[in-house]
């Protein structure tokens, strides 16, 4: 059996390498977000950004603050993010038994991974995960908010919405399973242009319409989630929408960040669901 651990690759650059500093920073981001004004039962799925914490940590904190209502029930996180460094066809698993951050190791859900064995769009690529930050930066937030959970980590490359949706449907589970999609929004636009573009992207996501890669680097996993959200009648809620010009960067070229929560219907009518 493979007992390899995927070591932290961006500790000390995207977020603090010190466990004490990291825990305090994540806790502050979540606390500063305040109590969520969304549905009390908590989201089934989240979209959260993945830049360095100085830029996007406060937006990510808004997403994870929404989990307070169901943090105690989540035992598995299905975590999808874009492949930035290695070309990937479909979706790739890391081929390890745990993922490491300065806060400790998170076990990979091997039973869940085994359930994907017959899907041709799913492969194993340790190289695709080795230096990839889009999944790693989500883990400290999950570790502080959920405490104990397993993870199904998938980097997404050239994959259709239906291919991603098929994987999500296979792993959907019940209240014990949380879906997290890691994505930033527009890249390197002037501040005012980026605000308009990102607002339009957020509107598309909430309406259940696909987004283009230039609008969100995690468009492939986001679009796959939207397929499932429409089928299952989930309702989307925009929790935060800012960019690096609002947080810690200059405004001549900014990167956009959004936090979106998706809620399962409370009844069979699914009134207000994505359509």
CATH code, domain carrying 52: 3.40.830.10
| pLDDT on residue 36 | 58
pTM of the model: 0.94
In the chain, the percentage of residues whose pLDDT exceeds 70 is 93
Residue 164 domain flag:
yes
The tokens describing 123, both together, are: 């492969």
Residue 267 domain flag:
no
Mean pLDDT for the stretch of residues 178-191: 98
Residue 272 has pLDDT above 60, yes or no: no
Residue 195 domain flag:
no
| 119 within 8 A of 143, measured Cβ to Cβ | no
Per residue in 12-70, pLDDT tens?
A: 999 999 999 999 999 999 999 976 555 567 999 999 999 999 999 999 999 999 998 89
Q: What is the DSSP string of 161-216?
A: HHHHHHHHHHH--STTEEEEEE----EEE-HHHHHHHHHHHHHHHHHT----TTT-
CB atoms within 10 A of CB 33: 21
| pLDDT on residue 274 | 58
Residue 8 domain flag:
no
Residue 240 domain flag:
yes
Residue 139 domain flag:
yes
Confidence of residue 270 (pLDDT cuts 50, 70, 90): very low
CB atoms within 10 A of CB 167: 25
Residue 271 has pLDDT above 90, yes or no: no
Residue 89 domain flag:
yes
| pLDDT on residue 34 | 74
Residue 269 has pLDDT above 80, yes or no: no
| Integer Cα distance of 260 and 270 in angstroms | 18
Confidence of residue 179 (pLDDT cuts 50, 70, 90): very high
Residue 111 CB contacts under 8 Å (≥ 6 apart), including other chains? none
| Integer Cα distance of 71 and 233 in angstroms | 22
| pLDDT on residue 41 | 75
Residue 122 domain flag:
yes
Count of domains forming the chain: 1
Domain interval for residue 242 = 16-150+159-186+213-247
| 30 within 8 A of 145, measured Cβ to Cβ | yes
Residue 71 has pLDDT above 70, yes or no: yes
Q: Which of 237, 209, 235 is nearest to 62 (CA)?
A: 237
């Amino acid at each position: 059996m493979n007992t390899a651990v995927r070591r932290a690759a961006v500790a000390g650059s995207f977020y603090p390498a010190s466990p004490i500093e990291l825990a305090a920073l994540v806790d502050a981001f979540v606390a500063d977000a305040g109590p969520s004004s969304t549905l009390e039962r908590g989201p089934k799925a989240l979209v959260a950004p993945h830049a360095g914490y100085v830029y996007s940590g406060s937006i990510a904190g808004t997403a994870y603050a929404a989990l307070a209502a169901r943090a105690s029930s989540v035992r598995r996180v299905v975590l999808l993010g874009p492949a930035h460094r290695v070309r990937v066809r479909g979706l790739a698993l890391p081929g390890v038994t745990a993922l490491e951050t300065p806060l400790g190791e998170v076990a990979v859900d091997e039973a869940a991974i085994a359930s994907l064995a017959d899907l041709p769009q799913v492969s194993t690529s340790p190289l695709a995960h080795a230096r990839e930050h889009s999944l790693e930066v989500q883990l400290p937030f999950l570790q502080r908010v959920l405490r104990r959970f397993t993870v199904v980590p998938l980097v997404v490359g050239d994959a259709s919405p239906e291919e991603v949706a098929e994987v999500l449907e296979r792993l959907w589970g019940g209240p014990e399973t949380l879906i997290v999609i890691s994505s930033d929004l527009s890249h390197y636009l002037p501040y005012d242009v980026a605000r308009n573009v990102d607002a339009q992207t957020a509107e598309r996501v909430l309406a259940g319409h696909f987004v283009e890669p230039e609008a969100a680097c995690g468009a492939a996993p986001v679009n796959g989630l939207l397929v499932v959200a429409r089928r299952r009648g989930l309702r989307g809620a925009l929790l935060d929408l800012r960019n690096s010009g609002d947080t810690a960067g200059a405004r001549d070229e900014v990167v956009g960040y959004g936090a979106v929560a998706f809620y399962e219907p409370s009844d069979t009518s699914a009134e207000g669901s994505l359509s």
